[in-house]
A and B are shown apart, each in its own frame.
Chain A
Amino acid sequence: MYKHVPTGVGAHRRDLKLSRPELMRVLAEGAAWAIKEGFGWRGDVDNLEEGGCIRGADPEQVSERALERGAGQLGTLGSGNHFAEIQYVTEIYDERIAEAFGLFVDQITVMIHSGSRGLGHQVCEDHLRVMVQAAARYGIELPDRQLCCAPLSSPEAKRYLAAMSAAANFAFANRQVMAHWVRESFAAALGIPVERTGMSVVYDVCHNIAKFETFTVEGRDRRLCVHRKGATRAYPPGHPATPAPYRETGQPVLIPGDMGRYSYVLAGTQRAYEQTFGSTCHGAGRRLSRAAAKRASRGHALLREMEDRGVVVMAAGMATVAEEMPDAYKDVADVVRVVHEAGLSTRVAQLRPIGVIKG
């Protein structure tokens, strides 16, 4: 898997080079582009948030610089907290939902955490610059300049949403391409055809996104622009946006933990829909700064210690491993317990890592 999925800086697969028109299609079509190009199976998109493509994306609103940053980065993991992880199911908390998600104890799973890479960073940067000025022009008083914003009806807002959606589509395509390479890695390692790996997509969630969604507020249906920053959508059973196999269980929610402990799969609930605009948590959250983690890791043979826990780590740089060591994060189980008890999502399964690749 480490060989198949590019992790280091500047690393990309020679067999995936995007021409400009192709990049524009990625931005317009998202995961569907990847599948059309052979990176995946036809049914994959059915199980992605928004079907792996946010409508309203306009590649023309993505700047030249963002395009240039993105051109070589499709199918790359990135660094920091991004990862691809081989895991196994250690515990099932809700048999009925787990069955609908296709999860069972001791099953091998793979989780990929990545996004829109430099293309998305540039989209954010470009539009922050615009919005700092726009906020002043529209007379919006802000307690912090980084909250800069523009009225949803304004051209600035429309352009940002169109570019941000295009970046999200790049992210969907990016994860889809890497998921395909992960399948190929398993097929190659097991010496079987890819189709026989049985590796179907459980779900794909966004956790940094703003989208128009409809909610009933005080008895009235209203279209709202829901900002989720480090928060995951958690739609309830019966919601039309939830893929058919999950209609009775609620939308799957993926909550990555640190690389030494565990991650979780949850299901969306009616309570989240009513209380938090269908939103729940997204992960563990850092406990130590990167530098503090590095200091704490001194004198530790991190890779050996991870191996003692039964986790093989492959990384482009050891600095990343130190910064991302398990002690740098809060225990994700604490976070998951709160959203479960508060009813924002239902705990379905716990997954433990056995192999981790990092940028």
Chain B
Amino acid sequence: MSVELFDHTGDIGVRLTAASREELFGIAALALTDILTAADSVEVRETADLRVSAAGMDLLLLEFLSELLFRFDARGWLTRRADVTIDERGDALSLTAQVHGEPLDPERHGIKVLVKAVTYHGLEVRKGDDSWQATVVFDV
């Protein structure tokens, strides 16, 4: 499992590697949190459910991260851990997740940068021989 940040002009990209696609989505959620604030400052105090669907694995990751970003920007929700289940029916993919974390507390969570959106640029989810990899670029 690895998370690697890379520079993309004015924005931030991440390259992720994980043993399974569920784990891949889980670390993607954590990577987003860590771009917004120090992920280890976020505690598990509450749990929420979410569900998204898409027509491809790359788009599913985009929908999932966009949902988490929406919950942060609109409601101050920060995710510390995401338990992800992915269901595949032909081309239709659906994801359900339990996300564990807490609401933003400005006293404890210093914000590093605001993320505007999860972008389509360079968006990729790949299955390797014994791992899953993804690339995502965030507009900040």
Please state if A8 and B111 are interface contacts (CB–CB under 8 Å).
yes
Give the complex CA separation of A145 and B116 in angstroms.
19
Residue of A nearest to B73 (CB): A118
Number of interface residues of A (CB under 8 A): 32
Contact partners of A286 in chain B: CB under 8 A: 9-10
A146: which of B5, B9, B10, B121 is its contact (CB, 8 Å)? Answer: B121
On whether the beta carbons of B7 and A320 are closer than 8 Å, the reply is no
Size category of the binding interface on chain B: 20 to 34
- Using A125-B66, A286-B10, A290-B12 as known contacts, say yes or no to A9 and B114 having CB atoms under 8 A apart: yes
Which B residue's beta carbon lies closest to that of A328? B10
The smallest beta-carbon distance between A129 and chain B, in angstroms, is 9
Q: Are A317 and B70 within 8 A (Cβ)?
A: no
Q: Tell me if A290 and B140 are in contact (CB < 8 A).
A: yes
Cross-chain contact B113 with A118 (CB below 8 angstroms): no
Contact of A145 among B5, B76, B120 (CB under 8 A): B120
| A101 CA to B5 CA, complexed, in Å | 46
**Is A289 in the interface zone, CB < 8 Å from B?**
yes
**Contact at A79–B70, with CB atoms within 8 Å?**
no
Which A residues touch B70, using CB under 8 A? 65, 68-69, 122
> Which residues of the partner chain A approach B76 to less than 8 Å between Cβ atoms?
10
Question: When A65-B74, A118-B73, A290-B12 are in contact, do A10 and B114 touch as well, CB less than 8 Å?
Answer: no
Are A125 and B117 in touch, CB under 8 angstroms? yes
B-facing residues in A248-273 (Cβ within 8 Å): none
Note all chain A residues with C-beta closer than 8 A to B5: 291
Expressed in whole angstroms, the Cα–Cα distance for A86 and B7 within the complex equals: 31
List residues of chain A with CB within 8 A of the CB of B126: none
CA distance A124 to B139 in the complex (A): 12
- Is residue A316 contacting chain B, with contact meaning CB distance below 8 A? yes
B112 interface residue, CB < 8 Å from A? yes
| Whole-angstrom distance between the Cβ of A17 and the nearest chain B Cβ | 15
Given contacts A68-B74, A69-B74, 5 further A-B contacts (CB under 8 A): A79-B113, A118-B116, A146-B121, A291-B7, A317-B111
Q: List 11 A-B contacts (CB under 8 A).
A: A8-B111, A9-B111, A10-B76, A68-B75, A121-B139, A146-B119, A290-B11, A317-B111, A317-B112, A320-B113, A359-B114
Binding site for A on B (CB under 8 A): 5, 7-12, 66, 70, 73-76, 104, 106, 110-114, 116-121, 139-140
Interfacial residues, chain A to chain B (CB-CB below 8 A)? 8-11, 65, 68-69, 71-72, 78-80, 118, 121-122, 124-125, 128, 132, 145-146, 286, 289-292, 316-317, 319-320, 323, 359
